[in-house]
């Protein structure tokens, strides 16, 4: 770790690791296991950063990253957690008292949340979205399509970003809405990917919401999103730090045991040097991610756009490179589902795309440097 853990943090890490060692092996092969997720909710782990008044423990980004790193390392099937904590942070910061009481309480008790921004014509360019919300009969009517919405099929609430006005620039006139997943007029259709069915298309056809469905201020979704994207990037960085470390440990264990030409393959200089490079990159990633988390906790009023983008970029690119090279070093076994490296490859390759591509992160970093 970049800093010495407190006794409470060390005990927390050990508890999560011990739970995962005992429970994850018997979990299903699906990305999200509701039973396992429910057990974590009972232990109070899902609401790490949520206020105590909603059932959370009110801790910071440092503790959240520790949890994400451990669950990522042990491959806990709780894919719904990342989108839930991202959405929950927005509800906590901008939601009404009633929304927070309802949604945040659901979250800490084991319900999944999702967030929907992307559209077929608006991915990295979120400001180009066209899904429309119109005021009608004392409420709102939503029409349009969203895509790549992670975990909408298992969610209780979807935090939707839709266009409520075409006046002004493309980043103006966007509004956040709380959409119960069972709302009439909303169709959720899974998208087949190499990782299974974790993402979805959403089709809104005269989907009616109450006047109180707006999260935050009408027309102010863009600055609200900007305030939360750095939290999202740190969540993804913490998770991929754990996954990357798992890929490293599994690869190191294999090259120490696998023998060819009369000795362990890790003894050959070609592999020994590759392992040395990955070990160095892992240490750098570890130091960066945990240091940014501590800095965010120490300065809660700052956004840290450069540092959060650096953490997300570094952690996802390291994890992807490590898993791909791990597959190469495991040879045919790296491609076999029995050994698990192919699963790490699938989860790390997409990590450089979601939550803002690596190219977008580099662009943000460059802009913060005045370029």
Catalytic residues: 232
Tokens matching residue 90: 């927005």
- Beta carbons of 305 and 230 less than 8 angstroms apart: yes
In whole angstroms, what is the distance from residue 155 CA to residue 150 CA? 9
In whole angstroms, what is the distance from residue 107 CA to residue 331 CA? 41
Tokens matching residue 290: 């945990």
Sign of CA dihedral 65, 66, 68, 73: positive
Residues near 256 by Cβ (< 8 Å), separated by ≥ 6?
264, 266
Residues near 360 by Cβ (< 8 Å), separated by ≥ 6?
124
Could you tell me the maximum CA-CA distance found in the chain, to the nearest angstrom?
79
- Beta carbons of 39 and 95 less than 8 angstroms apart: no
In whole angstroms, what is the distance from residue 187 CA to residue 209 CA? 15
In total, the chain counts a number of residues equal to 371
């Amino acid at each position: 770790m970049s800093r010495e853990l407190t006794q409470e943090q060390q005990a927390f890490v050990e508890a999560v690791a011990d739970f995962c060692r005992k429970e994850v092996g018997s979990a299903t092969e699906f990305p999200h296991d509701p039973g396992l997720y429910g057990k974590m909710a009972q232990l109070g782990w899902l609401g790490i950063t949520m206020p105590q008044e909603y059932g959370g423990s009110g801790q910071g980004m440092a503790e959240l990253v520790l949890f994400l790193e451990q669950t990522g390392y042990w491959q806990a099937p709780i894919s719904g957690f990342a989108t839930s904590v991202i959405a929950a942070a927005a509800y906590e910061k901008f939601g009404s008292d009633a929304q927070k009481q309802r949604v945040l309480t659901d979250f800490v008790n084991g319900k999944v949340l999702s967030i929907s921004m992307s559209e077929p014509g608006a991915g990295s360019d979120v400001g180009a979205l066209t899904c429309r919300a119109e005021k009608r009969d004392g409420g709102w009517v939503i029409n349009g399509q969203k895509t790549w919405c992670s975990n909408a099929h298992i969610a209780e609430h979807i935090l939707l970003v839709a266009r409520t006005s075409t006046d002004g620039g493309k980043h103006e006139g966007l509004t956040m809405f709380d959409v119960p997943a069972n709302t009439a007029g909303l169709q959720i259709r899974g998208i087949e990917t190499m990782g299974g069915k974790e993402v979805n298309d959403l089709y809104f056809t005269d989907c009616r919401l109450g006047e109180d469905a707006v999260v935050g201020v009408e027309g102010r979704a863009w600055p609200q999103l900007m305030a939360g994207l750095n939290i999202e990037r740190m969540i993804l960085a913490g998770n991929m730090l754990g996954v990357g470390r798992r890929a490293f440990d599994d690869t190191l264990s294999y090259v120490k045991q696998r023998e060819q030409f009369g000795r362990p393959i890790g003894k050959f200089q070609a592999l020994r040097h590759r392992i040395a490079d990955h070990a160095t990159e892992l240490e750098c990633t570890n130091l960066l991610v945990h240091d940014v988390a501590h800095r965010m906790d120490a300065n809660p009023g700052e956004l840290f756009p450069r540092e959060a983008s650096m953490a997300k970029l570094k952690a996802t690119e390291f994890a992807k490179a490590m898993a791909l090279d791990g597959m190469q070093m495991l040879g045919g076994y790296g491609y076999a589902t029995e050994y698990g490296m192919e699963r790490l490859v699938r989860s790390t390759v997409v990590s450089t795309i979601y939550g803002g591509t690596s190219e977008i992160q580099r662009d943000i970093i460059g802009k913060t440097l005045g370029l």
